[in-house]
């Protein structure tokens, strides 16, 4: 698969701001519970009279607006607040106007005149109270990359506030929309759904590597559930192991190891670990129980997993070498599919109560749990977004099994897929 690249013109424009205002702190870190930052984003300025330039400006504005709304970092002020403000002049901004509508941050977008058919877009961020320029960047790219240009711009703004890039992240999942269970990818918002594998066999349980260059997954390529690594950008596939049943791969966040579940020793399912390229396989758990669904902590020092060693499936945590096993779930008869949050303080999992499957979140600091989904549907396979504020999961709430995203507190449920059966998602870093 060939990837198209966006040409980036210039460098970070905030270098000039650092020279002018050496005491100004540009990068901020936001904590959970802090109020969202009020952000004003007026219509983008167009230095061209062509209808196409106006269409590009409108699309870029809409996509970036949706990104900021989704972030939970920014509160996008409604357009109705701008009605009495003087027209925006990038060369002379009246910051008092924007301060009067309670904006803390002003995003200014411009579409310069372009000499070719490419998109040319420039975005700048200002601190309204001080009137200081914080950051700016210019992009040029092909027209079919408009959404990527918008997402990249939004990600750059997020990084200013100490946040991980989210909007250019990808989701890999399994779908049978074309008649067979195959691997697909899509953007964080469900756009650009693209098929990755083309087989007459079933592919399952994909997992992104931390660098986003590899996908580990289960495939029935040799009439058994083998574990493979797909290199989607190099059109290559490597076999890790085909002996026994192998599934539920999970990459360590440091990119050095790959954990998975296997029956390769002709035993019950156990957890194994290999190098990031699937070499030097060794066993971590050794008992008569079923151990499965490994999920690494963000430090790569611990692994959460499911085991029925206590009689029923429960959530356990062990050190990365397989020692120091301790139970984390109590009080129920079925817990499965743990997913460790990127922030390290929460584990999402599936629990069955009265034959209904819902997703719960365990707070590792307080040992308290809260129910994330509330429906009579079957909600499964939770996976965290790289920012730790959102999750994706599969559900048959609409009748068929589709993929949904939801915020960590249960707000903003969104359906991303509609065609076929879609399941087993994994979100790239």
Q: Where are the domains of the chain?
A: 7-160, 170-427
Q: What pLDDT shows up at residue 33?
A: 56
Q: What pLDDT shows up at residue 35?
A: 84
Q: What pLDDT shows up at residue 18?
A: 29
Tokens linked to 265 = 């020793």
Q: In this structure, what are the phi and psi dihedrals at residue 169, rounded to the nearest 5 degrees?
A: -70, 160
CATH class of 170-427: mainly beta
**For 382-404, how does the pLDDT look when each residue is reduced to its tens digit (9 = 90+)?**
999 999 999 999 999 999 999 99
Beta-carbon contacts of residue 264 (< 8 Å; ≥ 6 apart): 241, 243, 244, 246, 272, 281
Q: What pLDDT shows up at residue 375?
A: 83
Q: Is 330 exposed, middle or buried (0-12, 13-18, 19+ CB in 10 A)?
A: exposed
- Determine how β-strand 105-111 pairs with β-strand 37-40: parallel
Gap between the Cα atoms of 415 and 211, Å rounded? 27
Which stretches of the chain drop beneath a pLDDT of 70? 1-34
CATH of 7-160, one of 3.40.50.300, 3.40.50.10070, 1.10.3720.10, 3.40.30.10: 3.40.50.10070
Q: What pLDDT shows up at residue 346?
A: 97
Q: What pLDDT shows up at residue 114?
A: 77
| Cβ neighbours, 10 Å, residue 235 | 9
**For 281-332, how does the pLDDT look when each residue is reduced to its tens digit (9 = 90+)?**
999 999 999 999 999 999 999 999 999 999 999 999 999 999 999 999 987 8
What are the CA-CA distances from residue 384 to residues 103, 113, 114, 324 (Å)?
Answer: 30, 40, 39, 25
């Amino acid at each position: 698969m060939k990837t198209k690249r966006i040409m980036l013109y210039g460098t970070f424009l905030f270098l000039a701001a650092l020279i002018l205002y050496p005491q100004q702190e540009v990068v901020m870190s936001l904590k959970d519970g802090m109020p969202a930052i009020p952000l004003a984003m007026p219509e983008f300025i167009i230095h061209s009279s062509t209808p196409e330039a106006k269409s590009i400006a409108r699309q870029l504005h809409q996509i970036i607006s949706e990104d900021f709304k989704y972030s939970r970092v920014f509160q996008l002020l409604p357009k109705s607040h701008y009605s009495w403000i003087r027209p925006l002049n990038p060369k002379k901004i009246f910051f008092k106007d924007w301060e009067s509508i309670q904006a803390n941050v002003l995003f200014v977008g411009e579409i310069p005149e372009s000499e070719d058919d490419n998109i040319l877009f420039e975005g700048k961020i200002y601190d309204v109270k001080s009137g200081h320029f914080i950051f700016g960047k210019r992009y040029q790219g092909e027209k079919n990359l408009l959404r990527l240009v918008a997402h990249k711009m939004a990600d750059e703004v997020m990084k200013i506030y100490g946040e991980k890039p989210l909007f250019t992240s990808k989701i890999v999942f399994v779908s049978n929309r074309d008649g067979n269970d195959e691997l697909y990818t899509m953007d964080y918002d469900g756009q650009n759904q693209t098929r990755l594998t083309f087989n007459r066999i079933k592919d399952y349980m994909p997992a992104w590597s931390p660098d986003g260059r590899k996908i580990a997954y289960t495939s029935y390529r040799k009439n058994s559930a083998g574990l493979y690594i797909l290199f989607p950008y190099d059109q290559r596939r490597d076999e890790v192991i085909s002996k026994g049943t192998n599934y539920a791969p999970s990459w360590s966040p440091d990119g050095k190891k790959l954990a998975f579940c296997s029956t390769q020793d002709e035993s019950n399912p156990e957890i194994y670990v290999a190098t990031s390229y699937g070499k030097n396989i060794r066993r971590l758990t050794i008992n008569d129980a079923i151990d499965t669904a490994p999920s690494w902590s963000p430090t790569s020092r611990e692994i959460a997993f499911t085991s029925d060693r206590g009689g029923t499936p429960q959530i356990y945590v062990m050190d990365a070498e397989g020692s120091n096993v301790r139970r984390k779930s109590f009080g129920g008869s079925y817990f499965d599919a743990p997913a460790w949050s990127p922030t390290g303080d929460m584990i999402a999992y599936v629990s069955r109560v009265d034959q209904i499957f819902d997703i719960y979140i365990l707070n590792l600091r307080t040992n308290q749990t809260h129910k994330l989904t509330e429906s009579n549907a079957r909600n499964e396979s939770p996976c965290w977004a790289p920012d730790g504020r959102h999750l994706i999961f599969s559900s048959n709430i609409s009748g068929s099994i589709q993929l949904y995203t939801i915020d960590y507190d249960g707000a903003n449920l969104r359906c991303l897929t509609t065609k076929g059966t879609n399941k087993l998602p994994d979100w790239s870093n």
